[in-house]
C-alpha cells in the first residue's frame, strides 16, 4: 500500500461514463463504507457505457443505475470538491481539471493512466476484452494503492 487510506475519494475521467464509474463501483465494492466515494467527468455528455456495465457485472458490481455528472454539476449540487482527501484522475484531461482545482483547494491528486477502451475492437468480444483490460488496470492500481479488499 502506497499511502494512507483516504476518508473520501473522487475518481474522474473525461465523460464519467466508462473509467471513473468503474473505479467508483470497484472502490465501493472492495472497501465498503471505509471512504466516501464519488466520480465525475470533465464533461457530462454521455450516459453510462453498456460495456462498462457488463464487465463490472462480471465482478458483482452494479453500474446500470449510475448517472454521469461533471465537475460543474458536482459544484452545482453542493458536493464540495475541497472535501475530498484524494482525487484520482484516470485520463489526461481529468488530471488537468483536477490540478486546476488545486489552485483553489488543497487536494491530493494522483494520475492513474488507464486505457480508454472506447473505440477499440470490431466485435462484441473484442470490445469486451478492451473494457476488461481497462477494468483490470483500475483494479490493479486500486489494490496497489489501497490494499486488499475489506468487503466481499
- String of DSSP letters for 107-149: -EEEE------TT--SSHHHHHHHHHHHHHHHHHHHHHHH-S-
- The whole-model pTM stands at 0.91
Q: Which residues of the chain have pLDDT under 50?
A: 1
What per-residue confidence (pLDDT) applies to 105?
Answer: 72
**Can you give the pLDDT at residue 3?**
65
Give pLDDT, residue 73.
85
Question: By the 8 A CB rule, do 45 and 15 touch?
Answer: yes
DSSP 58-109: TTT---TT----BHHHHHHTT--GGG-SEEEE-SHHHHHHHHHHTTTS--EE
pLDDT at 120: 93
41's enclosing H/E stretch is: strand 36-41
CA-to-CA separations, 115 to 13, 20, 71, 78, 90, in angstroms, rounded = 11, 12, 21, 31, 9
- Domains of the chain, by residue range, sit at 8-146
Q: Which three cell numbers stand for residue 122?
A: 470490431
What topology is assigned to 8-146 in CATH? Rossmann fold (3.40.50)
What's the pLDDT at 110?
A: 94
37: three-class secondary structure by DSSP: strand
Amino acid at each position: 500500500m502506497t499511502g494512507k487510506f483516504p476518508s473520501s475519494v473522487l475518481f474522474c475521467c473525461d465523460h464519467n461514463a466508462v473509467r471513473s464509474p468503474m473505479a467508483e463501483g470497484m472502490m465501493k465494492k472492495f472497501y465498503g463504507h471505509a471512504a466516501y466515494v464519488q466520480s465525475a467527468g470533465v464533461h457530462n455528455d454521455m450516459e453510462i457505457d453498456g460495456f462498462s456495465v457488463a464487465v463490472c457485472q462480471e465482478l458483482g458490481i452494479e453500474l446500470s443505475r449510475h448517472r454521469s455528472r461533471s465537475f460543474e454539476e458536482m459544484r452545482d449540487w453542493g458536493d464540495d470538491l475541497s472535501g475530498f482527501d484524494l482525487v484520482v484522475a484516470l485520463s489526461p484531461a481529468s488530471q488537468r481539471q483536477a490540478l486546476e482545482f488545486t489552485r483553489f483547494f488543497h487536494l491530493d491528486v494522483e494520475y492513474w493512466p488507464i486505457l480508454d477502451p472506447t473505440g477499440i475492437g470490431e466485435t462484441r468480444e473484442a470490445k469486451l476484452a478492451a473494457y476488461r483490460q481497462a477494468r483490470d488496470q483500475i483494479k490493479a492500481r486500486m489494490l496497489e494503492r489501497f490494499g486488499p479488499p475489506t468487503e466481499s
